[in-house]
Amino acid sequence: MNSMGSTMKLGGVSLLSRWSMLYIFLTLVITSLAFQNCGKGFSAKDSLNYHTFCKAQAPSQSPFANGKLQLSSAQQSGFSKASSEPIQLAVLVDLKCVGDRELSLLGVPLDLAVAHPDLSTSAIPITLPKDSDMNQLSQEAEAEICIRGIAENSPIKKSSVASINDPLKSQQLHLLNLGYDEANPLRSAINQKVVVAILDTGVDYDHADLINRMWNGNGQYGTNLVEVGQLPDDLDGHGTHVAGIVGAQENNGQYIAGLTGSFIEIMSVKILDNNGDGTAARVRDGVQFAINNGAHVINLSIQGPGTNAIIEDAILSAVNAGIVVTLSGGNQGQEMTETNLYMPAYVGPLAGGAISVAAVQSDTNQLAAFSNYSSYYLEIAAPGADQNSSSAGILSLAPNNGTQRIRGTSQSAPMVAGAAALLIGYLKSKGQAYTPRAIEDFLVGSGVNKSVSLQDKVKGGGVLNLAALARNTLAYFDNNNSGNFTGNNLNSSTCTIK
């Protein structure tokens, strides 16, 4: 586990401080513009609530804005003769700028052939010797106009704990917990497509419960960043399980029900190998593929220790492109603090429209023992296990027309992704513009039940509830028939869990 200092430094300025300075700057700019054009398709009104909403959606700086080399203190210590391991980095390259040229850093060539053929920018892995000179690396990066940034190529893993096969397809206790049936009025009112990108181990696109729900924009159901050129199939099972939670076909007489409906399209972006392992470079390029191909929601059921500028840049790019991003909170059972951070969840509160998710048990709504927690970094909770048992995971799909139970914040995050897709689908069907921050604000304010026991574990103590989301969404439009969706929680009627 990487350890950080009391502040997270990016380019010599703490991440939190930089956002504070950006807020002050944007306050002046937005005020001078009479609060116009603050979000995509959105004209704001002169009020504090609208101002807060617009501020969060204004364009945000990349972590690389103040210097191309952005490494954690732990990684910087690797640039010494005492280090025993080669240094694994990801270099963000503008491929159009490079053209046919060859690039190298410290004499090590960049293998541009690994770049995804459809991306104009790509995170290229590079391995440098253990005694590399960090100052020279920084100078070379700053001098090369086609390099946008360099960060650790951090290892990431799927964010689940344990799994067993379970043929009992009716035991989806999380649906009862979420108020699934009560959300039918919202679900049935949606007539517009919503694309949810599952960045994971792939998806079994031939599964009988998913085949009619797959995105097929490029004839390949998505993309494969692990085995480039191959279809994004799933030999591990994690991605198929996550996809089933979001969009398994309901009312077809077999397997399970997903949270959404016939309006959903699942985009499979394979960034993890068949053991559930991946890198920051693949996360970044997977996010960029989803942006370029029209995703409305991105789910990242992954985890890794510490921070990473490449992943921050990817998430900021997504929300500023109008995409909601859901982030699993991690399964270490630890409190997330400034000195104990886990990616990608720590980015949630720093980027409007990125939502970090903790796990609760379906039977009690208590925090699951494996789930990380924080009243700041974790913004909402959702079921990640049915009970406090290693065999009581969430029931969803498995490859080869199977089902299985898996527990973890990997299962909580796609529940929030599904809820976001429901809200987005309804807004699109109503012809309403929105921003990712508006979706987040409404979900965490009006799409939850409040749990007293979670007040110090999750920001606001909110547990996702589809019944509350449906009730409050319909009420919102009963009372707000004009203008675009702001996400203000003026009609919230959520209850409190004792």
Does residue 277 share a domain with residue 128? no
Does residue 234 share a domain with residue 208? yes
352, β-bridge pairs: none
Tens of pLDDT along the chain (498 residues) come to 333 333 333 333 344 444 444 444 444 333 333 322 233 232 222 222 222 333 334 446 789 988 999 987 655 544 544 456 899 999 999 999 998 899 999 999 999 999 998 899 999 999 999 889 989 999 999 999 999 999 999 999 988 775 533 334 457 889 999 999 999 999 999 999 999 999 999 999 999 999 999 999 878 999 999 999 999 999 999 999 999 999 999 888 889 999 999 999 999 999 999 999 999 999 999 999 999 999 999 999 999 999 999 999 999 999 999 999 999 999 999 999 999 999 999 999 999 999 999 999 999 999 999 999 999 999 999 999 998 887 789 999 999 999 999 999 999 999 999 999 999 999 999 999 999 999 999 999 999 999 999 999 999 999 999 999 999 999 888 776 556 787 865 444 433 343
Does a structural domain hold residue 464?
A: yes
Does a structural domain hold residue 6?
A: no
Q: Write down which residue in 153, 181, 208 finishes a domain.
A: 153
Q: Write out the residue range of the structural domain in which residue 47 sits.
A: 19-59
* Angstrom distance (rounded) from CA 435 to CA 37: 12
Nearest Cα residue to 289 out of 353, 228, 212: 228
* Angstrom distance (rounded) from CA 251 to CA 366: 30
Does a structural domain hold residue 2?
A: no
Does residue 315 share a domain with residue 372? yes
Task: Look at the chain and report how many structural domains it folds into.
Answer: 3
Give the number of other Cβ atoms within 10 Å of residue 1's Cβ. 11
Does residue 181 share a domain with residue 127? no
Does a structural domain hold residue 71?
A: yes
* Angstrom distance (rounded) from CA 229 to CA 331: 32
Does a structural domain hold residue 214?
A: yes
Environment class of 193 (CB within 10 Å of its CB; exposed 0-12, middle 13-18, buried 19+): middle
The count of residues in the chain is 498
For the record, the structure tokens of 255 come out as: 């397997």
Does residue 351 share a domain with residue 314? yes
Does a structural domain hold residue 296?
A: yes
Does residue 23 share a domain with residue 81? no
**449: domain CATH number?**
3.40.50.200
Does residue 142 share a domain with residue 237? no
Print burial letters for 401-429: b (CB count within 10 Å at least 16), e (below 16).
ebbbbbbbbbbbbbbbbbbbbbbbbbbbe
Q: Write down which residue in 153, 170, 198 finishes a domain.
A: 153
Does residue 473 share a domain with residue 430? yes
Residues with active-site annotation: 200, 238, 410
Cis peptide before 344 (omega within 30 of 0): yes
Does a structural domain hold residue 122?
A: yes
Does residue 139 share a domain with residue 40? no
* 359: Cα separation from own chain's centroid: 15
Environment class of 187 (CB within 10 Å of its CB; exposed 0-12, middle 13-18, buried 19+): buried
Does residue 374 share a domain with residue 230? yes
H, E, C per residue of the chain? CCCCCCCCEECCEEHHHHHHHHHHHHHHHHHHCCCCCCECCECCCCCHHHHHHHHHHCCCCCHHHHCCECCCHHHHCCCCCCCCCCEEEEEEEEHHHHCCCCCEECCEECCHHHCCCCCCEEEEEEEECCCCCHHHHHHHHHHCCCEEEEEECCEEEECCCCEEECCCCCCCHHHHHHCCHHHHHHHCCCCCCEEEEEEECCCCCCCCCCHHHECCCCCCCEEECCCCCCCCCCCCCHHHHHHHHHHCCCCCCCCCCCCCCCCEEEEEEECCCCCCEEEHHHHHHHHHHHHHCCCCEEEECEEEECCCHHHHHHHHHHHHCCCEEEEECCCCCCECECCECEECHHHHHHCCCEEEEEEEECCCCCECCCCCEECCCCCEEEEEECCCCCCCCEEEEECCCEEEEECCHHHHHHHHHHHHHHHHHHHHHCCCCCCHHHHHHHHHHHCEEEEHHHCCCEHHHEEECHHHHHHHHHHHHHHCCCCCCCCCCCCCCCCEEC
**Per-residue pLDDT, 391:** 76
**Per-residue pLDDT, 389:** 80
Does residue 90 share a domain with residue 176? no
**Per-residue pLDDT, 45:** 28
Q: Write down which residue in 111, 131, 153 finishes a domain.
A: 153
Does residue 379 share a domain with residue 452? yes
Predicted TM-score (pTM) of the model is 0.84
Does a structural domain hold residue 461?
A: yes
**Per-residue pLDDT, 495:** 38
